[in-house]
Structure 1
Amino acid sequence: MLDAVKNALRDNITHPRELTAKHGGNIATVQEVDDPLDALLSEKVAEMEEWEQERWLSPLFTPTLEERKHLETALPVDGMEAASVEAMIRDLEGEALECEISYGGRTIQMAVPNDTIERYAKLFHADNRMDAESIEQIKGVSDSDDDTLEVQTLLRSPTWQSDTNRNLLNALLGIFTKNSSYSTDKIRFLSDFVRTNRPQDQEELGTQLQNLIESYQFEQERPIFNQRLEQKHTTNIRSKLCGEEVKSFRLKISNEILGDLGLLK
């Protein structure tokens, strides 16, 4: 099992990455280079302070959903022992791993620093366990194995480690199953919403969802008399903080869950 997890984590660390235009521009400006890849050459990275390495490499080495799913295929439901995770990290640090970084048509091989490997590896929370009851319920209602894998990946997060949140999730899964209304989107939404709002039970969750819907309605109905202020309001709040697609998704799922709870107005 340890070898399978280690192999998956190695795959995730060493697969090719590409700098975004924004991140590449920031590196070039601060590091005073024409090409940001010049600042990420192995010898340059080795000279950086730890905080500098984290600043420039963390956007490249923060697990994506696909990377989490890849590792999840190798993890047991109960997770790994913390000591085994540490041993795995030390082993990978000793392998002198490299990663291909691309930007603007150019590619370099960068030696991945040990601090970056450790930080990245720990963000997978491989020592977290998933609730067996939740997993069995999800397997019974998921549309596909890939949907099941994605939800398992979400349930590995710190959000679903407390008894309070697990009990809430299992209660909701029971309701979704009874209503034939389960969807992966609901678990995606709840993973973010529960992490942020920390409802203690179904009743409090329902109240918070109603408050969310009302806040969006208030935003929509609030009169704005200054044209320039309206443009600024639309750009700064709706687009940057909560894009229309995100807002529509939250409203849709909030209403669906309220319907499941029998609280839809």
Structure 2
Amino acid sequence: MSAPDLPQLTATIGLQLQEQRLLGVKMAGQLVAQFDVENPLDALDRATLAQMEEFEQELLLSPLYTPDDSHKLACEPFLPVAGLSPTEERQLVATLVAQGVQGVGAFEERSGPIDLPEIVIERYVSLLGVGRAIPPAVEDLLVELAQGKALLQGRRVARERVWDRPEALSLLCQCLQQSGEKHSFSDDKMGFLAEFIRTNRPASLDELLQQIINMVESYRLSEEGGSYDGVSGGHDGSGIHSRFTGEMVKAKRLSMAQAVLMDFNVSSSYAQRQARASGQLTAPVESADEDMENPFL
């Protein structure tokens, strides 16, 4: 798409802002204490918000109005590869403000409207990344490797700020090229790379692959020590849900790590075993991991 579909984009974001937001117990307690009200929703009414400075409004409502990846993905069909221009982004915000878009807050059995200040809408739109361009080299690779929802998801990831660093962008292009050669592109793998490269900031492909191997090894050592998180070897009867969630995240990360390593013919038998055990890895392996040369170990 070379031009934005501003009406559809505005409607999509407007619906997102109108989604009901649940106030957590911690936030509710802070609102009750700070504003001396019986119900935290009373601190979010029009009169109270109008008395605040813009930075106070933003600070108060930002926990409720921060878009997640699903919100960003919903906007992608209406965005050009180059993103919105500053003028178009300002126009979008102005339209939402003029429409008087209201949010909905909920706590326990009560819900109520939230008059969204312009600063909150502006922040939300900015965090959606609608003004960010997809790097041309990445777009060229994506249109060759993906289509449909996978292409939209890849474009969403490609707009992330992590790729502003030249070394990170180069690594992404190398990984996408290798995925093309292996016919193994996946938007999940691209998302894993974005998170991993953002956190670990590798400067070269060798460094990236070594860091991934180190992550896999740390999981292996934590498993041998009886710890699901690699920090403590102790277990008790509490936190079962957290442990289960942690194991699911671990299995997904190991699956993605194995997928990246396989693209570059690098061995990690532990990652492969764990990915298979969790059902995350289904593709056949061309050669046994134990026999594959690993230049990083």
TM-score (norm 1): 0.83
Residue of structure 2 equivalent to 1:119: 123
Instruction: Report the Cα offset of residue 137 of structure 1.
Output: 3.0
Does the aligned pair in 2 maintain the 1:168–1:202 contact within 8 Å?
A: yes
Q: How does 1:8-47 map to 2 (within 5 A)?
A: 8-47=12-51
Q: Cα gap change, 1:103/1:223 in structure 2, threshold over 3 Å: closer, same or farther?
A: closer
Which of 261, 275, 278 matches 1:258?
261
Instruction: Report the Cα offset of residue 189 of structure 1.
Output: 0.7
Stretch deviating more after TM superposition (94-103 or 112-121): 94-103
Give me the whole-angstrom Cα distance separating, in 1, the residues matched to 2:45 and 2:253: 42
In structure 1, the gaps of 5 or more residues are none
Instruction: Report the Cα offset of residue 123 of structure 1.
Output: 0.8
Q: Cα gap change, 1:180/1:229 in structure 2, threshold over 3 Å: closer, same or farther?
A: closer
Q: Cα gap change, 1:211/1:22 in structure 2, threshold over 3 Å: closer, same or farther?
A: same
Instruction: Report the Cα offset of residue 6 of structure 1.
Output: 3.4
1:65-100 Cα distance to aligned partner (Å, 9 max, x none): 222122222110011222432343344334433222
Paired letter, 2:119 = D
**Aligned positions, number:** 258
Residue of structure 2 equivalent to 1:183: 186
**Larger RCO: Structure 1 or Structure 2 (Cα < 8 Å, ≥ 6 residues apart)?**
1
Residue of structure 1 equivalent to 2:107: 103
- Structure having the higher helix fraction is 1
Does the aligned pair in 1 maintain the 2:225–2:233 contact within 8 Å?
A: no
Paired letter, 2:190 = I
Which of 116, 130, 133 matches 1:129?
133
Q: Cα gap change, 1:262/1:114 in structure 2, threshold over 3 Å: closer, same or farther?
A: same
Give me the whole-angstrom Cα distance separating, in 2, the residues matched to 1:119 and 1:248: 34
Give me the whole-angstrom Cα distance separating, in 1, the residues matched to 2:158 and 2:24: 29
1:205 aligns with 2:181: no
Sequence identity (%): 28
Q: How does 1:28-107 map to 2 (within 5 A)?
A: 28-107=32-111
How big is the alpha-carbon RMSD for the aligned residues of Structure 1 and Structure 2?
3.0
In structure 2, the gaps of 5 or more residues are 269-297
Give me the whole-angstrom Cα distance separating, in 2, the residues matched to 1:263 and 1:31: 58
TM-score (norm 2): 0.75
